[in-house]
Structure 1
Amino acid sequence: MQRIGVFVCHCGTNIAGTVDVKAVAQALKAEQGVVFSTDYQYMCSQAGQDIIKAAIAEHQLTGIVVCSCSPRMHEATFRKTAAAAGLNPYMVEIANIREQCSWVHKEMPIGTEKAIILGKAAVAKVNLNAPLTPGESPVTKRALVIGGGIAGIQTALDIADAGFPVDIVEKKPTIGGKMAQLDKTFPTLDCAACILTPKMVDVAQNENVRIFSYSEVTDVKGFVGNFDVTIKRKARFVKEDVCTGCGACTEKCPQKKVPNEFNLGMDNRRAIYIPFAQAVPKVATIDPNYCTMLQKGKCGLCAKICTAGAIDYQAKDEFIQEKYGAIVVATGFNPISMDKFDEFAYSQSKD
């Protein structure tokens, strides 16, 4: 059975102006495990901390609840106070009755009722707590950035420049994301490519960065510092380490009327294609949904044209396992379809 002490702070009138702090302290006395409950004008002051220390010693408390402001403000303060009195600092719980209670209510009965509820929850938490001991765990010093748009690229550069290896996983054949499709950027109308493409080159040439394009994360296991990640490398049907990006295959492919998703379907591309001129990596990709060689076993023109021998119709999806200490999700956005908003005259123009 825990021996819990409850300490309700007035915070001047910040709390006491909307919460009957004495009623809160009295109500929490009846909770399971509570052997001491009091209130004080400023629990974070030296005098308030001395009250906590004295109560811990006198009542042999095994846990405490401080009903006060946000734990972001003073959780560390009260943990140090508890530790100084010989109590495990992780047996301290904060009930935020200021930001989450007194500051959002005007009427004292409502504020008081909510403060009691928050206090009861904190007491219940302490009853379930166990003393903890800080420790260290080895971490994998490699980061994963999911998404190769401008946010993912900049994140990878920041991590790499700090001296840590980092991998980018991008589901499309090239990094660049939505920004690569833009002409100008708001609000200065600067050239989007002038900002983006140098960063694409930088991240591709950075020795601390690996780029897994045309790939997706399929599974994540583990915990902070030690994640086991499964990455699916989709079959490109072009050997990435062999292709020179010359574009000869993309010019001769007979499948000419494949909707170009990079240009939002406003023009066409070939079944084998490089998304745009500044693509990174600048490697061709065969779309298996439109390639007649992959669909019917007929054609093979791109393999005949490729002098580097980069075409591989037998390629399969690969699954690789990697370990990471941190994961950043920078998967970007998809613009909303305007089809349902005819008040903007969207349906009047095909473009």
Structure 2
Amino acid sequence: MADVVVIGAGVAGIQAALDLADHEVHVHLIEREPTIGGHMAQLDKTFPTNDCSMCILSPKMVEVARHRNVTIHTCSEVESVEGEAGNFTVRVKKHPRYVIESECNGCGDCTRICPVEVYNRFDAGIGVRKAIYKPHAQAVPDIVVKDQEHCIECGLCYDACGKEAILHEDEERVFEISAASIVVTTGYATFDARNKKQLRYLAIPDVITSLEFERMINASGPTGGKLKRLSNGRPPRSIAFVQCVGSRDLAAGRPYCSGVCCMYAMKNAMLVREKNPDIEVTIFYNDIRAYGKGYEEYYERARNLGVRFVRGFPGEVLEENDRLMMVAENTETREVETFYPDLVVLSVGLEPADGGEVIARMLGIPRDDSGFFGVADQKVGPVLTVKPGIYVAGTAVAPKDIPDSVATGEAAAMRAFLDAIRVG
């Protein structure tokens, strides 16, 4: 049976690969990061059940890595695509890891001895990593990658590696894959909150994004799950969540609703109140969009836990003495109130992943006005594109939560499976 290429190894891509592989189709899972898992691996809990995110995702990551019908290509990007449905030629560029992948066992001896610390993108910038590292403890594949840009070639990692798996020199490699069809699950990026200057992101240390907050409350994160102000390290007494940062905002060029921000803010607010009932938590919102199964009940749970919902937005974030100050009109009571939170969390919206324009042009498929990949028919063809043999799923199409991303990944997989059967 012909092979299928899945571009992007977040939860939608992993699910698509597993479904195809279980139907005896060989899948090439291509991921540009050193590990599969996508954004879901960064999360602490998932709504509306508050289950551990990695408890759900990690078994799928391990399963897809061990599946006999799946070949994972990490640190890899698609360079070109030629052909048509049933006969695509996908050219892939694999970036150097500076590690012999078949020899490295992920023991971490090299990481522990490395003296260089740099910005850690996986921790959204509130933690650091070494110049030779694994993105996180449960990374798949369980091997390190050397950041040659920041490596000072001190030589300590070479001496520490008992398997002599670390390379002084490595090169990019290019290879081709023949495939019957292609599934695009390239995921999303988060809105750059610096574009909302009045909210003072990065200008004030205690104004952080929702993704940074996710890493802070995660037990495996840089703070060990402990809430603290980045300005002084003290635990906050009050936290404010500001919704629709980069969503439903014509001025910012983001007219759409990101779909998940209300729910993930409620989730994080509830986690704070459950563990630290003395912390005051306020959510500033426009409308609460709790549209999924069990979501409205989740909203009621948050209110019953003492989370305060204020219908209105602060004009700007100011500093006053050792605290922050925000003034907002509560449009339900028509009162103008002043708030003094210790920590402000900006609920940033979802936007198309970097490089989407290049992939769309390469595949010959359009993007919509918001930059997400276009589909043939929103109603009866939500994973079909205008080009036969190419399918899209997950947040590559539009902002979605995890269940919807998984469902569309499964739908795209079955469409690709039919193409693989036709080719034989």
Distance apart, 1:338 and its partner CA: 1.7
Determine if contact 2:3/2:178 at 8 Å carries over to the other structure: yes
Aligned-pair CA distance for 1:259: 0.5
Deviation at 1:186, TM superposition (A): 2.3
Is 2:194–2:200's contact at 8 Å kept on the other side of the alignment?
no
- Residue 269 of structure 1 is matched in structure 2 by 129
Q: Which amino acid aligns with 2:3?
A: R
> What percent of counterpart residues are identical?
46
Name the residue aligned to 2:57: 196
- C-alpha distance in structure 2 between counterparts of 1:142 and 1:276, whole Å: 30
Task: Supply the distance in 1 between the matched residues of 2:16 and 2:200 (Cα, whole angstroms).
Answer: 38
Which secondary structure does the structure 2 equivalent of 1:281 belong to?
Answer: coil
**Deviations 1:195-222, CA, capped at 9 Å, x for gaps:** 1000001101110000001111111111
Q: 2:99 aligns with which of 223, 235, 238?
A: 238
Q: CA deviation at 1:341?
A: 2.8
Q: Is the strand fraction higher in 1 or 2?
A: 2
Q: Which SS does the other structure have where 2:59 is aligned?
A: helix
1:112 aligned partner: none
- Specify the SS of the correspondent of 2:122: helix
Question: Which residue in the other structure is 1:88 paired with?
Answer: none
Partner of residue 147 from structure 2, selected from 271, 287, 290: 287
Secondary structure at the aligned position of 2:175 is classed as strand
**TM-score, normalised with respect to structure 1:** 0.57
Corresponding pairs, count: 206
Shift in Å, 1:292: 1.2
1:179 aligned partner? 40
Residue 306 of structure 1 pairs with residue 144 of structure 2: no
1:278 matched to 2:133? The reply is no
- Specify the alignment match of 1:327 in structure 2: 182
Q: In structure 2, what residue type is equivalent to 1:280?
A: V
Q: How many angstroms apart in 2 are the aligned matches of 1:195 and 1:219?
A: 33
CA distance in 2, matches of 1:240, 1:163: 26
Aligned partner of 1:56 in structure 2 is none
- Check conservation: 2:104, 2:144, Cα contact below 8 A: yes
Q: Which amino acid counterpart does residue 315 of structure 1 have in structure 2?
A: D
Given the superposition, is the C-alpha separation of residues 345 and 290 from structure 1 closer, same or farther in structure 2, using an over 3 Å criterion?
Answer: closer
> What is residue 292 of structure 2 aligned with on the other side?
none
Structure 1: gaps (5+ residues): 1-139, 294-298
1:213 alignment partner AA = T
Write the deviation string for residues 272-309 of structure 1: whole angstroms up to 9, x where unpaired: 0011000000111000110112xxxxx12111110011
Distance 1:275 1:350 in 2: 25
Deviation at 1:158, TM superposition (A): 0.6
For residue 189 of structure 1, report the CA deviation from its aligned partner. Answer: 2.0
- Whether the 8 Å contact between 2:43 and 2:53 is mirrored in structure 1 is yes
Cα separation, 2, equivalents of 1:187 and 1:313:
47
Aligned counterparts of 1:315 and 1:162: Cα–Cα separation in 2: 36
Amino acid of the residue matched to residue 45 of structure 2? K
Contact 2:200 2:207 in 1 (8 A): no
Structure having the higher helix fraction is: 1
TM-score relative to the length of structure 2: 0.47
**Rg bigger for which structure?**
1
Q: Distance in 1 between matches of 2:156 and 2:91?
A: 34
Question: C-alpha separation between the residues in 2 aligned to 1:262 and 1:221?
Answer: 33
The answer for unaligned runs of 5 or more in structure 2 is 209-424
> Matches of residues 14-53 of structure 1 in structure 2 within 5 Å?
none
Q: RMSD of the TM alignment (CA)?
A: 1.4
- How far apart, CA to CA, are the structure 2 residues paired with 1:148 and 1:189? 23
Shift of 1:345: 6.3
Deviates more, 1:184-193 or 1:154-163: 184-193
Residue of structure 1 in register with 2:114 after alignment: 253
Q: 1:23 maps to which residue?
A: none
